[in-house]
Structure formats: structure tokens, C-alpha cells
Copies of this chain bind each other. A is one copy, B any other.
């Protein structure tokens, strides 16, 4: 199936005859006839009943019609998603399973008319560069980095603290615990593959380690969360951190447990970053939505690195 063919189908369905459709598409009637015939052969059904006075849709053609329109609509959206100019609001977040994802889902529910595109960049450095260049419009990140403040033209506001929870397999020593203190984590092996040196999230965990004397192993590449969960589930001595707001679709039969961490609860601080002079109209809408809808942050009994606290 080819989009040009689908366009031809729609033109013929709207016109009620091939000849007029051909004129609309600036091709000959024979070309339209051939395209429709090819589409019918492709789909295995007859889409039009040909009469000497035109062509009208069969039942199959009627059934196909709305799908064809939808197809072109989606294609138009796809093209618009990368067109320079008034394109969908483009937002970066640290991971598709982070709390920022939930915020954006809520935003989409509240404003379904706003087209969104979500991307995931490496770290806040790349995000800031992309924001300044206008490639993306906003980013959910832990702001700044130790010793590297945000540039003047980038604004930020803290929107959400994501409490970390421990993720363990069924055979882990803490599998039955209702909660665990940070102090109790000392001595346990915590595995976080894919922790990239130089990123703000690596700095976050480095601070966490330094503050509470934990052991975090960042060895090995990240083969995706499925592989990580598999390993965690099967290895009694291994645990990992995960955002407590994550609505995880558990792979069946893993028997994974999540254990809240307390005294204090480490929270990953998500801020929204944007360029002060980004003219995208939906950006203001997003900021207003987050100001109204975002849960609190900086609650008592939580911990986050100094450098993430905004001025």
C-alpha cells in the first residue's frame, strides 16, 4: 500500500468518478484507473463499482474510507513533527518511565489538541544545547551540574520530586521488607547499568553514594530495562533503584518487589527547563498546567543533592 494510491482512492471516492479525481490529481484517467486497480489487487477486494456514469464505493470501499482518511492524517502529522516552524511541542525527558512521563500524560489528557513529541537526550548538557538551538522546546531534568550553572537564557522551575524505591527479586534479603532506611542499604550491591559518566544523573548517584556510603555498580552496558529486570529477578544479591512513581508493566512471572526507601527518602528532582524567548504557544500552556497540576517537592524527610536546589 502506497500513500499516493490512498490519496487517489480518496480523490475518487470524493469525486464519485475517476475522471474528475484524475483532473484533481493532475494525472490521466487511465492512471487513476490503474492505481485503483492496483490497490484493489493489493487489498484483495473491489473498492468501487464501475458504472458508465462514474464509480461508487462498494461496502468494502465504505469500510476502507475512514481508515484511508486516518492514514493520510497520520502521515501529515508525521511530516509536521519534523517540519521547521509551527511544529508539535517537543519535550525531552530522562527516560520514558520517569515521573516526567506521567506529567506529560496528564498534560495530554488536559490538552489533547496540543501535538506533542517526546525525545530522550543523553544528559542536561545536550538538552540545554538543544533548547538553545530551538531543536526542542522543553526538558525535564535535574537542573545544572556541580559547578556548571544554567546559562542566562534558560529558565527552569522545579516541578516534581520522584522518590526512589529499591527494586529486588523474590529471593533478595529485602524482598519481604515493607520499607528500608538508607543506612540499611550500606553493604548491599546496587546495580545500575548504563550510568554514563559526565551526565547529571550519574552525578546524582555519585552524590547519593558519597552522602550515605552506598555501593552502586555501574558496570556493563544498558541492554534495556527488560534485561535489567530479568537479571534483578534472578539474582538474589542484586538490587536496583527505580522511580517510585513509575507505573511499570511487570513482565509476567518475575516476582519483582519494590521497597520504599526512608530516612531520608532520596528523591530525583525533576525541573522543567525552557528557553525564555521560545515563542511556541503550547510552551506557556505546559508551564501553566505544571504550575497547577504538579505535585509538591522539597518535602521534609527527603534528600536531593545541593546542586539541584534552584536559586
Residues from chain B with a CB closer than 8 A to the CB of A67 are 74, 77-78, 81, 117
Other-chain contact of A119, B6, B62, B70, B90 (Cβ < 8 Å): B62
Residues from chain B with a CB closer than 8 A to the CB of A212 are none
Chain B: CB-nearest residue to A78: B67
Q: Are B75 and A117 in contact (CB under 8 A)?
A: no
Other-chain contact of A135, B44, B59, B70, B77 (Cβ < 8 Å): B59
Residues from chain B with a CB closer than 8 A to the CB of A66 are 117-118
CA distance A88 to B59 in the complex (A): 13
Residues from chain B with a CB closer than 8 A to the CB of A31 are none
Other-chain contact of A82, B3, B6, B63, B118 (Cβ < 8 Å): B63
**Given A3-B2, A79-B43: A74 and B63 interface contact (C-beta under 8 Å):** no
CA distance A204 to B67 in the complex (A): 33
Q: Are A63 and B117 in contact (CB under 8 A)?
A: yes
**Given A59-B130, A117-B66, A135-B59: A44 and B82 interface contact (C-beta under 8 Å):** yes
Q: Are A1 and B78 in contact (CB under 8 A)?
A: yes
Query: In residues 48-104 of chain A, which contact B (Cβ within 8 Å)?
Result: 59-60, 62-64, 66-68, 70-71, 74-75, 77-79, 81-84, 88, 90
Q: Are A120 and B78 in contact (CB under 8 A)?
A: no
Chain B: CB-nearest residue to A40: B82
Q: Are A45 and B120 in contact (CB under 8 A)?
A: no
Q: Are B1 and A90 in contact (CB under 8 A)?
A: no
A121 interface residue (CB < 8 Å to B): yes
> Closest CB-CB distance, A280 to chain B, in whole Å?
14
Residues from chain B with a CB closer than 8 A to the CB of A136 are 59
CA distance A47 to B60 in the complex (A): 37
**Given A2-B3, A3-B3, A45-B82: A71 and B63 interface contact (C-beta under 8 Å):** no
A: which residues have CB within 8 A of B? 1-4, 6, 43-45, 47, 59-60, 62-64, 66-68, 70-71, 74-75, 77-79, 81-84, 88, 90, 117-121, 130, 135-136
Interface pairs A-B: 9 shortest CB-CB: A67-B78, A63-B117, A62-B119, A60-B82, A45-B82, A59-B135, A63-B81, A74-B74, A71-B74
